[in-house]
Structure 1
Amino acid sequence: MPNTVFKTCGEYLVELLAAYGVDTVFGIPGVHTVELYRGLPNTKITHITPRHEQGAGFMADGYARTTGKIAACFIITGPGMTNIATAMGQAYADSIPMLVISAVNGRHELALGSGRLHELPSQRNLLAGVSAFSHTLLRPDELNEVMARAFAIFNSARPRPVHIELPLDVITASAAHLKLPIVAKSSRPAPSPDSIQQAAQLLAQAQTPLLIFGGGAADAAQSAQALTERLGALTVTTINGKGILPPAHPLSLGSTLPQRPILDLLRAADVVLAVGTELGETDTLLFDSKPELTGKLIRIDLDPEQLYRNAAPTLAITADAKLALEALNTALVDHQPLTHTVAQAQNLRQQLQGLLSSTQQAHQRVIAHMRAVYPETMIVGDQNQPVYTGNLTDEPDTTHAWFNSSTGYGTLGYALPAAIGAKIAQPKRAVISLIGDGGLQFTLPELATAVEQGLALPIVVWNNQCYGEIKRYMQDRDIPTIGVDIYTPDLLTIARGYGCYAIRAESLSDLQVQLELAYQAAKPTLIEINEAQALHW
């Protein structure tokens, strides 16, 4: 029976999470966090137990990317926080919301260095670099305000992880006097009318415009497509912006920004409109330089600082992408679109396809067959060679249907737990984890979580018994390939040991058959692809 007289801060916290609409928590209980679990049965919040705190963070990441909803992570003091820091770094780099709740040693023990269990000199400072903010709750009375700050960032600013830590004596302190607030969802900023008029005038006068839509515009796909067609402008997306334009849209150049013809197009454009993108090196693959622009640059972003990074704008607009694009469409309602650009786009697409190597074309075929089994298939990738090719070539039929860890922070092992989070969030949707044999070994134990949850999740493993992309990078620079040829165990046997189905695909048609079976299964299926064979499929 719940104690209605004495309610702890830990119990109140889970009630507060439920009030904000949080319905899923990823966490591994520990002696410092068990008091957070006392109140969970009194809510409708589902708890998922990963096998590593990094997995918890990646699952929360995949959950948020596919639904826009916030998942919380309950993480123990010390090693739990250092474990989840990598996942928070990936989410921070890719602007993904995540709420990390942790314990910390008692208030009277902080920063004393007295050797307490899990003690760090400053846990909050450690996490500050991978979060929008990291806060130590010193009194239960602060919790409503701090949670409101967190959700204000999630809802109206550039979304990133937030970390709230509760000292052990605060978790168990009385919160019986606290009342759940009326949750008011904050809105995102709209653009100023003057800036929209300036942008519309620049775009209306442009003869060679180029539109770039990033992940920040992924929830504004309809408005982005309308603007593309209203202008008749050539358009590219970043990796996280895939799906903003439908496959083979006549003005779409896909997510091919790193390719030389598109970089040349960027340099030659008289006006570039960049919406919700960093224009960073993982978008352009310009590792030693920044994008070259000779024309005018209009940038739209939620983050005012980001407007000035990597490429200086002619016009900077701090605003929500959807609101800004809607306003631009209204301002340009009578504009006559360019007509020559459709043929130009077709020629460029043929040119770009011709630039792919035979290996990349093999990757392209594999991914196309993966996507063809079900509509709106979500492919969650790691850092491996097929994913790098797919970043250039894959054209999903909706947004949030292709994402991976090669963007931003660039972590290995992401694809399996992130796909688990995505599948938990959207159980009726086809979700695939696409990962290499090296990356899988970073988070292999999360197979147990997928089995435990009974997820019909195909895990497609590109097996080349090495860190293939790094090996190629070393070979291209005449560097001895030390440390990249790794021992890869029998992944099929291991997967079966975890309780998964496991099979090796022998052809493209066989891959599709195995995917169809995996979607109907009551547990995950590991599908191994041998690289040496697949390159000849």
Structure 2
Amino acid sequence: MPHTRPLGAQISHMLKDRGVDVIFGIPGVHNQEMYRGIEEAGITHVLARHEQGAGFMADGYARASGRPGVAYVITGPGLCNIMTPMGQAYSDSVPMLVISSCLDETAAKRGQLHQMKDQRAAAATVCDWSEEARTAEAAYALVDRALREMDTDRPRPKHIQVPIAQLEAAAPPFVAGGLIAGNSAAPEAQMREVAALLATSKRPLLVLGGGTTQASDQVRAFLGKCPAAVFTSYAGRGVVAPSYGLLFGSTLARPDSANVLAEADLVIAVGTELAQVDLWRDRLGHTAPLIRVDIDTEVLSNSSDAHLRIQCDAARFFEAVTAKINGAQTVWDPAAVAARRARWRSEIDAERTGIVPVCDALRACLPDGTMIYSDMTQLAYAAKEVWDMDQPGHWHHPYGFGTLGYAIPAAIGGGVARKGLPTMAIIGDYGFHYTMQELGVAVELGLPLPILLWDNGKLGEIEDSMVRAQIAPNAVIAHNPDFCKLAEAFGAQSAAPQSLHDMQAAVRTAFDADGPTLIYVTPDISR
């Protein structure tokens, strides 16, 4: 029979009951009661070096596992430090639950340790919702609400804060048991209308976003009956096989992609916001009817140019539509698709000289099923457009919020979620400065994590932008350390290959190491 425990301990036991196996965080005097029950509940705790790292680890864990990433942080600065990862998780639809302590009283008392004017409201600016649990019953209800919404609605981060006195107080048992499963069924009448439109379409075109990564089988089955042209967002890469002859890839940001969309006689956008960071232009470019499919009512409400708006899970949508079509003959030309992609690849190679060969060499040496976490760096920017993924949900990037320092801690979270499976990080020299301390966590955990550090000696993307804007580049160069020696000081291994062949060898070796390996690469490697 469950017994009374301090609420801090009960929360850990409840999370374990709800399927949580790992918590990322840093203990402090304010939240130490949350740590009372972690080991007793059988949960693994990963000690980050900074709360920002803990948040990115939870994000990486969630993206790799499909389960919520959970983090424990302290009042005030701990919560402030994790707000950047919360903002990133919000923009990229990542399920993350942040539980923090909070002061018992702030309105009539000043000068307390870690005091903020309104901690709950501050967190609310970067997550789906932020609430305070002033009783044990409220804490249990909010935990279940958060986990249930992550399962049934668009997954996004939530924050729950609990007053210190409540964490310390004896609390009754929570109710054991699972959560209610979601059911975003496809609306029958709208499915008939979609099927009717497809029956007369000769140039149907799909735009597939990150919301389709769990629907790859259903998408491919649909394309087997209706050979539509396909664009993916960066997050949607891998939903369609690279060998599919009508795949335009993740090239929506190419200005000429608007001309392709204008050729379509029906456009179906599924699981994508069609946001600025997807298109880098104001309009998609279509003139044909547009069907928007999404589980998020906000996305659908903002789709003023849509002929049809359908609130539905991507997998159920494609299952329902595929069952209603008898097959279709389209006039898209695979040779024309290939020619356009070749031209765009040449554009990317010209824009970022020397990076495309590095991407090709890196892709060729990775084990099957490698999961990649990248940072805001020019190597990743090029790779997102030229690197078709073999399977969905295996390249993670800070797309919307666009924070530096994401890749290493997120890859650590991914490595924790995928023990025994290949995971790697790609980061730039400047981004490495943001979260380099988390390298110690990867060493501590013995993660065989290759970290490809692309050092162009500057904030290269910002310098290029300044030049285009006719601004004399300034404040774009920082003094860098000897990155290899720094990695070794943490206890990691390092390599500084001088050729693409040597880089490939270093990457292969790193996957078999007993800890992380920093692989230092400069633009000279492809010359």
Alignment correspondent of 1:118 = 114
Provide the C-alpha distance between the structure 1 equivalents of 2:139 and 2:178, rounded to a whole number of angstroms.
Answer: 13
The question of whether the paired residues in 1 share the 8 Å contact of 2:205 and 2:229 is answered with yes
Pairing partner for 2:417 from 418, 425, 435: 425
Alignment correspondent of 2:525 = 534
Alignment correspondent of 1:292 = 285
Alignment correspondent of 1:205 = 200
1:40 aligns with 2:33: no
The question of whether the paired residues in 2 share the 8 Å contact of 1:144 and 1:181 is answered with no
Secondary structure of the 1:510 match is helix
1:159 aligns with 2:151: no
CA RMSD of the aligned region, Å? 1.6
Q: Deviations over 1:278-333 (max 9, x none)?
A: 101111122xx23233111101101011123366311001111111111111111x
Alignment correspondent of 1:462 = 454
Q: Which amino acid aligns with 2:102?
A: V
1:501 aligns with 2:493: yes
The question of whether the paired residues in 1 share the 8 Å contact of 2:500 and 2:526 is answered with no
Alignment correspondent of 1:278 = 273
The question of whether the paired residues in 1 share the 8 Å contact of 2:4 and 2:173 is answered with no
Provide the C-alpha distance between the structure 2 equivalents of 1:4 and 1:236, rounded to a whole number of angstroms.
Answer: 52
Cα 1:467–1:311, aligned 2, differ >3 Å: closer, same or farther? farther
Q: Deviations over 1:208-248 (max 9, x none)?
A: 22101100001100111222232211101101101001123
For normalisation by structure 1, the TM-score amounts to: 0.95
C-alpha displacement of 1:351: 2.6
Pairing partner for 2:378 from 370, 378, 385: 385
Secondary structure of the 1:111 match is coil
Alignment correspondent of 2:224 = 229
Aligned-pair identity (%): 36
Cα 1:31–1:229, aligned 2, differ >3 Å: closer, same or farther? same
Secondary structure of the 1:253 match is strand
The question of whether the paired residues in 2 share the 8 Å contact of 1:232 and 1:339 is answered with no
Alignment correspondent of 1:262 = 257
Provide the C-alpha distance between the structure 1 equivalents of 2:284 and 2:109, rounded to a whole number of angstroms.
Answer: 47
Secondary structure of the 1:272 match is strand
The answer for unaligned runs of 5 or more in structure 1 is none
Aligned residue-pair number: 526
The question of whether the paired residues in 2 share the 8 Å contact of 1:471 and 1:484 is answered with yes
Secondary structure of the 1:469 match is helix
Secondary structure of the 1:379 match is strand
1:523 aligns with 2:515: yes
C-alpha displacement of 1:69: 1.2
The answer for unaligned runs of 5 or more in structure 2 is none
Bigger drift between 214-223 and 110-119 goes to 110-119
C-alpha displacement of 1:339: 4.8
Segments of 4+ moved more than 4 angstroms = 3-6
Pairing partner for 2:468 from 464, 472, 476: 476
The question of whether the paired residues in 1 share the 8 Å contact of 2:204 and 2:330 is answered with no
The question of whether the paired residues in 1 share the 8 Å contact of 2:34 and 2:167 is answered with yes
C-alpha displacement of 1:534: 2.5
Pairing partner for 1:239 from 221, 234, 241: 234
1:488 aligns with 2:480: yes
Q: Which amino acid aligns with 2:488?
A: R
1:353 aligns with 2:349: no
Secondary structure of the 1:480 match is coil
1:141 aligns with 2:137: yes
Cα 1:310–1:410, aligned 2, differ >3 Å: closer, same or farther? farther
The question of whether the paired residues in 2 share the 8 Å contact of 1:281 and 1:290 is answered with no
For normalisation by structure 2, the TM-score amounts to: 0.97
1:319 aligns with 2:279: no
Provide the C-alpha distance between the structure 1 equivalents of 2:227 and 2:107, rounded to a whole number of angstroms.
Answer: 60
C-alpha displacement of 1:487: 1.1
C-alpha displacement of 1:358: 3.9
The question of whether the paired residues in 1 share the 8 Å contact of 2:203 and 2:330 is answered with no
The question of whether the paired residues in 1 share the 8 Å contact of 2:292 and 2:303 is answered with no
1:399 aligns with 2:392: yes
Provide the C-alpha distance between the structure 1 equivalents of 2:466 and 2:228, rounded to a whole number of angstroms.
Answer: 39
Provide the C-alpha distance between the structure 2 equivalents of 1:354 and 1:468, rounded to a whole number of angstroms.
Answer: 20
Provide the C-alpha distance between the structure 1 equivalents of 2:448 and 2:180, rounded to a whole number of angstroms.
Answer: 34
Provide the C-alpha distance between the structure 2 equivalents of 1:75 and 1:335, rounded to a whole number of angstroms.
Answer: 54
Provide the C-alpha distance between the structure 2 equivalents of 1:254 and 1:5, rounded to a whole number of angstroms.
Answer: 55
Bigger drift between 462-471 and 127-136 goes to 127-136
Q: Deviations over 1:408-444 (max 9, x none)?
A: 1000000111111111111222111100000000101
Pairing partner for 1:64 from 59, 62, 65: 62
Secondary structure of the 1:419 match is helix
Secondary structure of the 2:30 match is coil
Bigger drift between 223-232 and 194-203 goes to 223-232
